[in-house]
Copies of this chain bind each other. A is one copy, B any other.
Amino acid sequence: MKNIPTISNPSNELLERALELKKSSQDLALKTNNQRCQALLSMADALELRAEKIVEANRADIDRSESTGLSNALVSRLKLDHTKLQTAIEGVRKVSLLPDPIGVRQLNRELDHDLILERITVPLGVVGVIFEARPDALIQIASLSIRSGNGAILKGGTEASLTNKAIMQALQEGLGSSDVLASSLCLLTSREESLAMLKLDGLVDLIIPRGSNELVRFIQSNTNIPVLGHADGICHLYVDKDADLKQALNIAIDSKTQYPAACNAIETLLIHNSVAPSFLKEAIPAFKQSGVTLLGDPLSQALGIENSASDSDWSSEYLDLILSVKIVSEMTEALDHIHRYGSRHTDGIVTANNETAEIFLRSVDSSGVYHNCSTRFADGFRYGFGAEVGISTQTLPPRGPVGLDGLVTYRYLLRGIGNIAADYSSGKREFIHKDLSL
């Protein structure tokens, strides 16, 4: 994502591959739960069989990347050794144990005697995934797609091209000895193709970007296909005047430091002025000890924060041990700040006053709003979803941490005995709209 690229139209070759993938996904959508689970186990076995080749390919990718001066952080994300690969393979087997997201009846209603409406979950069709660096993401997303009955078209980073190719070969071999078509997964290799994927409306049903904020933002504004993801995670913690200050500090430290590179780590701490002096007295040394650099507004600087926060800090996602601090004179000021600078990801309040907490929970329009706990809980696994497809900061559902159910949609099935609408508009028959058990 170094330069702003131009998006060319899909080539005929890409269109053909996407059409074949669409057909394969229609076939996949008809497979039973058992068939899809068997396919996953088969994919896991094939990955194990080919483990040596995958790790070798990865070594070649790493050698090439190091020689071209890729940063250490990126090289470490790119690295796929036997241990990491085995963890990823176990992940595939675990996905096969998750409850089937397909065929769930969400509505069961008699419109009339012998005219029964059902709403049943079905696969989306084809998901398009664009991911950077980490090649284990390919394994994870491929297994989530097959589990949910979706075809997947995937494009990884060029740094990992040999690894991704070796992984895809194993995955398709695995599918080859299952009831699911190997062509249900399709790997793109060139940058042009991955950009052209953004124009595959009608052939790709959902795009999941896994990478930098810049990548996500670029994709969101350059496709008409729905995008599941989030560009920014600018999360706030508000320490209220009625907060238990020890608890507040504990939560603030965890929210910032437990994994600072995560999107659900806080970037800004908002503190009520009546507790700011006593809170900061403890917090400043505690954050220092945790290696966190604090950047303060003038009021908090007057209370001992050494570095100053500039205007741009309020909208910065540091993804690092840096925290901006602002003192507010009432909760509405904190709410205004969150509305203005937040990314609607996850924001929390610490207060012993439940009434205040409820106002905060009702007023902040983020996908997660928390009371007296760390923002780091915003995660599909921690929510108990078993898998995480991504975290969405869009307004419409699915929102927040998204599990397998983010890869399904639904269909209305209506079964009658010859019922016609004219009978109901003439008054000859009447709807009864009676819900049956699910």
Contacts and interface: CB of A to CB of B under 8 A. Distances in A.
A414 interface: yes
A422 B424 CA distance: 60
A302 interface: no
Interface in A309-359: 339, 357
Interface size class of A (residues with CB under 8 A): 35 or more
Contacts of A221: 224
Contacts of A177: none
A205 B395 contact: yes
A111 B409 contact: no
A414 B374 CA distance: 9
B420 A250 contact: yes
Interface stretch (A44-52, A68-76, A377-385): A377-385
A434 to B, nearest CB: 9
A29 B365 contact: yes
B251 A374 contact: no
Contact of A109 (B376, B378, B384): B384
A77 interface: no
Given A124-B395, A224-B221, A382-B111, A411 B368 contact: yes
A347 B73 CA distance: 52
Contact of A421 (B117, B357, B369, B376): B376
B431 A365 contact: no
A418 B365 contact: no
Contact of A251 (B122, B226, B418): B418
A425 B258 contact: yes
Given A30-B362, A205-B396, A415 B125 contact: no
Given A26-B365, A395-B125, A420 B383 contact: no
A254 B421 contact: yes
B413 A409 contact: no
Contacts of A395: 124-125, 205-206, 226, 409
A416 B354 CA distance: 11
Interface in A404-418: 409-418
A419 interface: yes
Given A109-B384, A224-B220, A383-B111, A258 B371 contact: no
B384 A111 contact: yes
A251 B419 CA distance: 7
A contact patch SS: mixed
A328 to B, nearest CB: 18
Given A220-B224, A421-B376, A421-B377, A369 B258 contact: no
A399 interface: yes
A206 B396 contact: yes
Contact of A370 (B367, B416, B425): B416
A373 interface: yes
Contacts of A422: 254, 258
B411 A251 contact: no
A267 to B, nearest CB: 16
Contacts of A366: 411
A293 interface: no
Contacts of A409: 395-397, 399
A128 interface: no
Contact of A420 (B111, B373, B401): B373
Given A30-B363, A365-B122, A411-B366, A419 B374 contact: yes
Contacts of A9: none
A407 to B, nearest CB: 10
Given A111-B377, A224-B220, A412 B400 contact: yes
A372 interface: yes
A422 B378 CA distance: 13
Contact of A226 (B376, B396, B425): B396
Nearest to A348: B414
B383 A412 contact: yes
A411 B109 contact: no
Nearest to A259: B421
10 contacts: A247-B418, A250-B420, A367-B412, A369-B411, A369-B413, A370-B413, A373-B414, A373-B416, A397-B410, A399-B411
